[in-house]
Structure 1
Amino acid sequence: MATPIVAPFPAARLRRLRRTANLRAMVHEVNLTAADLIWPIFVTEVAGAEGEIASMPGVERLTLDGAKRAAERAARLNIPAICIFPHSDQDLKTESCERAWDPDNIGNRAIRAIKETVPDLAVMTDIALDPYNANGHDGLVVDGEILNDETVEALVRMALAQAEAGADILGPSDMMDGRIGALRGALEGAGHRHVAILSYAAKFASAFYGPFRDAVGASGRLVGDKKTYQVNPANREEALRCVARDLAEGADMVMVKPGMPYLDICREVKDRFAAPTFAYQVSGEYAMLEGAIRNGWLSREVMLESLLAFRRAGCDGVLSYFAPSVAEMLA
């Protein structure tokens, strides 16, 4: 990147272009619109589990009818995509995770319900076994080991079921090696050539996921941790190798997760690969900001500022629980 040439003061008075709103608008470098947002929602099959999530104030688990209303709201606000995360019955979770590819699991029913309600809204899904796994892991576990290749086979079955249900974008969040190539091959072979893959390519073993695990009912169920498959937060080059591999295997888009603590990775990914790049403003980021807003410590403008940071770092879009609120503010 070229070093900018700036004349010495007073020839250069950088405040000249900050003097009025119109002057500031003329030199605005990054824009944020509703089209830059993906709205993650939680859909539950458990009677009585709907309603606000304590650790994510303002975010609710939804019934299927609630998911339909959310889809209609997204369409009204010009949010182009919604991402479904299932909250499944704890008593039906197993170590073999067979409900992950059941055509009638809550995630697949939500896909069909949303596509029937708002056909043009893009529906993204999550590809990982943890919503249906008795031990809370994204992969199959045998004798304490998270199995890679066997998990990939299960993820392929899960992906095909979601594609059959009508998903537009699949979001593999599991971080198993080789899963993007396997998913792409299976989708092509089954005639789902149009289904896009937004890979969680650089997903870090972060402490920012806690409220999400509350939302999907995984808190307290995780045996051990996810450090054998998620990226070490200290490792920049490893994250970039993961991105390069997923793009080579057929990912259409890539994601960095979490978002704000990893803006340097977002910038590096966009600059190095020039591929569609997304970030996930995860549950812990949301909870911190929303909690501070509700306590009066921060103004609601912080939502816009936080999302502009992702755009400035090179992201083409952001998954954010703030999506509907921000879209309303922008409107």
Structure 2
Amino acid sequence: MSDRLRRLRRTPGLRNLVRETRLRAADFIYPIFVSETATEPEPIPSMPGQSRLPLTAVAAKVKEAQRLGLGAILFFGLPREKDDNATSSCAPHGIVQRAIRTAKEACPEMVLMTDVCVCAYTPHGHCGVLKGHEVDNDETLRLLANMAVSHAEAGADVVAPSSMMDRQVGALREALDERGFMETAVMGYSAKFASAYYGPFRDAADSAPSFGDRASYQHDPANIRHARREILADEREGADILMVKPGIAYLDVVRLARETSDLPIAAYNVSGEYSMIKAAAERGWLDERKVVLETLTAFRRAGADLVITYHALDAAKWLNDN
């Protein structure tokens, strides 16, 4: 008897029947930039197809996401005012807090997630409170905890600390529980690497550091064992979801996270990855639809339960067309 491995690849029906990894719109989390100063959508040049949204456009965008069957929205805020203490990050009427309330009123059933970091709220663009030119870990934890509580008060379902401070998940979990938000989930940016793939995002969020870089608190891209320690630490501290960021160049870390923990695993298909595909597609160098769906399938095949992606709306439409 000879192996004929092509038998089950012969027709579209057979291939679909035995397909191991499947994509659903419900697997996707769509990141949204909400700007306190925008009066209409502001296209982001380095991220074709994406815009900074005014608060007035949030309801329509969330309704579109819900209609397409997306799993969740992840909010990033661009405040009107910045200061060294990131004051507006915790304000009850801050831009993210208002966006959450607007979205919940428009789509009560949509899962709303928030990024908990202060890089866009400070003039220096670093992810915490500075002492000199160094980020003060423990002082930053207090700020992040207050920010997370303010998001929960506004109605966030999931808060996601991305500052990469030691014990950030535990600090948020403790603060949320103390304030009565035991049901608010925490998604840890558990393996977030100091990556050049973040460039377009920093343009979009106006969050590039004004000096130095973030290598002292984000993961070294060369280290995977250290990433495993962070994954385990976030799980011990009470994370409900673990995340790997970036995605395409870090599929080995996604697989590691899947093998390390039974918690849901999210992979962040980051801005640079998105922009590279968009740029090549605009030049006719590749088929955007096929490459995007192949890329998202790769995240799921590597072990991600959820994919945070700027392709979410387009991918959902393509999947719904099939």
Query: The TM-score by the shorter chain falls in which range?
Result: over 0.9
Specify which of 220, 245, 251 is matched with residue 239 of structure 2. 251
Aligned-pair CA distance for 1:16: 1.2
Structure 1 unaligned spans of 5+: 1-9
Q: Secondary structure at the match of 2:316?
A: helix
Structure 2 unaligned spans of 5+: none
Aligned-pair CA distance for 1:97: 1.1
**Cα 1:187/1:309, change in 2 over 3 Å:** same
The TM-score with structure 2 as length reference comes to 0.97
Match of 1:296 in 2: 284
Match of 1:165 in 2: 154
4+ aligned runs moved over 6 Å, structure 1: none
Match of 2:70 in 1: 79
**Cα 1:94/1:49, change in 2 over 3 Å:** farther
Match of 2:49 in 1: 58
Specify which of 104, 120, 133 is matched with residue 93 of structure 2. 104
Match of 1:137 in 2: 126
Aligned-pair CA distance for 1:47: 3.6
Match of 1:17 in 2: 8
Aligned-pair CA distance for 1:48: 5.0
The TM-score with structure 1 as length reference comes to 0.94
* Conserved 8 A contact 1:34-1:78: yes
Alignment of 1:131-210 (within 5 A): 131-210=120-199
1:116 aligns with 2:105: yes
**Cα 1:39/1:47, change in 2 over 3 Å:** closer
Q: Deviations over 1:130-187 (max 9, x none)?
A: 1101100111111101100000011011011000000000011011001111111111
Alignment partners' CA distance in 2, 1:143 and 1:217:
22
Q: Secondary structure at the match of 1:198?
A: strand
- The number of equivalent residue pairs is 319
Match of 2:275 in 1: 287
Match of 2:58 in 1: 67
CA-based RMSD of the aligned residues comes to 1.1
Identical-residue share of aligned pairs (%): 46
Alignment partners' CA distance in 1, 2:295 and 2:57:
27
Q: Deviations over 1:112-135 (max 9, x none)?
A: 100011000000000111110110
